[in-house]
Structure 1
């Protein structure tokens, strides 16, 4: 009997093999895999999670192009930590540097938002290490990671949840977003206009003005964003881990 304990609260792996004279060992069953037709981003997490009341460690968030077509443009990632944990941010490790990457951390340190822009052929992956700390209480709760890309065709692999002290939770498929209104519809070319996008299923969403992401935040029913600089009339798209929805276009005035 072999018992192996893994840091981060994963359950102990217990393996017992009994050999009987004349008995053949059966090959393990292999689950069939299906490649999604079109661009598809899959997000996962793994690594060293906090296990002590006062702890400092890191875990990895990996996103991979798993469909049959390139993933292009903006992929937005979020990391939400339970009470008692905070992050100082993430370190990007992917090379070559054929992408742009930026991140912000909420004032309370419990939410990280990252914007990754680049083209990824099927099979290519990237990852960041999220630095995380516990502050005096035994770590508990769920770490939730999401990924969203405008062209993603399969939302079933866009959310990863890890139960501290237990392990990965079953996958969940977020609801597709709907947009019911966008106000205002115009603003100066320099940008800076506060725009409200209303609808449903907008949690962890972000807005694209053309192909440029806007800064801001979303609840389940509304996103308040700041229009980036631009010219002419551009489409506005609300993108969430559950899919994307077209909003009204935005027209820049001289």
Structure 2
């Protein structure tokens, strides 16, 4: 009887030892993969919150943009929010402190598009967010809410578009096409600004123009942007910035006295 107990104990000990060795082998064969930040400045945009679900609903969801690269994000970051039919917004509320940035926004006449301009410096790891107020008007909300972010120095466009399908959830990420610019006309205007300028090319959707480092008001389709030159002096480079990247115009813009 004692012999059987000893043998049983020995067998159990050997089984435990075998399992321990096997587990150690598996752990050695599958090392942990640690994600690394994108080299250079990088903006990542996401969305979440209380989306409308009823035919008549008033609620809000958040849009968050974060510096996720290895270098500071600086200058202008432009954000857009496009709502499906049946939803409108009256604008967004910023909740980020301290107030070491500037923030402006505009809402389209039909209430379905919000454009925001955020200007500030963000060290890697720092984020900001705004609450977008939305309302539905008599029909059950459906469709996709699309949010984009664009910054001239952004190193990775794969995280610049967030899409949420109402009633389903976040959709798979899509990488927008890189912009290409073929022309700028006219290339001169008064120092006071106000010149209507057309930039043509491809991949310009949700883009904006920088005259030097100053953003210009305007709107873009995939193949053309019509913007109003801001006030300035001398000759300045013009850069088209879109969620897919940035591209310089073939000619600069010269301000005349």
Q: Shared fold (TM-score greater than 0.5)?
A: yes
Report the Cα offset of residue 31 of structure 1: 6.8
Check 1:111–1:30 CA distance in 2 against 1; reply closer, same or farther (3 A cut).
farther
Give the Cα separation in 2 of the matches to 1:192 and 1:40.
32
Of the three residues 172, 175, 178, the one matched with 2:177 is 175
The count of corresponding residues between Structure 1 and Structure 2 is 230
Once the two structures are superposed, the pairs formed by residues 49-198 of structure 1 within 5 Å of their partners are: 49-198=51-200
Q: Deviations over 1:15-51 (max 9, x none)?
A: xxxxxxxxxxxxxx98742210000000000000000
Alignment-derived partner of residue 217 in structure 1: 219
Give the Cα separation in 1 of the matches to 2:34 and 2:221.
37
Alignment-derived partner of residue 199 in structure 1: 201
Alignment-derived partner of residue 4 in structure 2: none
Deviation beyond 4 Å, 4+ runs, structure 1: 29-32
Q: CA RMSD for the aligned pairs?
A: 1.7
Alignment-derived partner of residue 235 in structure 2: 233
- Structure having the higher helix fraction is 2
Give the Cα separation in 2 of the matches to 1:249 and 1:77.
25
Give the Cα separation in 2 of the matches to 1:190 and 1:114.
24
Of the three residues 234, 239, 255, the one matched with 1:252 is 255
Check 1:30–1:44 CA distance in 2 against 1; reply closer, same or farther (3 A cut).
farther
Give the Cα separation in 1 of the matches to 2:33 and 2:221.
37
Give the Cα separation in 2 of the matches to 1:220 and 1:72.
26
| Structure 2: tracts of 5 or more residues without a match | 1-30
Check 1:169–1:30 CA distance in 2 against 1; reply closer, same or farther (3 A cut).
farther
Alignment-derived partner of residue 40 in structure 2: 38
Give the Cα separation in 2 of the matches to 1:253 and 1:229.
11
Give the Cα separation in 1 of the matches to 2:222 and 2:189.
25
TM-score of the superposed pair, with normalisation by structure 2: 0.87
Give the Cα separation in 2 of the matches to 1:127 and 1:196.
32
Alignment-derived partner of residue 7 in structure 2: none
SS in 1 for 2:158: helix
Structure showing greater Rg: 2
Give the Cα separation in 2 of the matches to 1:195 and 1:231.
16
- Structure having the higher strand fraction is 1
SS in 1 for 2:232: coil
| Structure 1: tracts of 5 or more residues without a match | 1-28
Give the Cα separation in 2 of the matches to 1:177 and 1:223.
12
TM-score of the superposed pair, with normalisation by structure 1: 0.88
SS in 1 for 2:39: coil
Q: Deviations over 1:44-93 (max 9, x none)?
A: 00000000000000000000000000000000000000000000000000
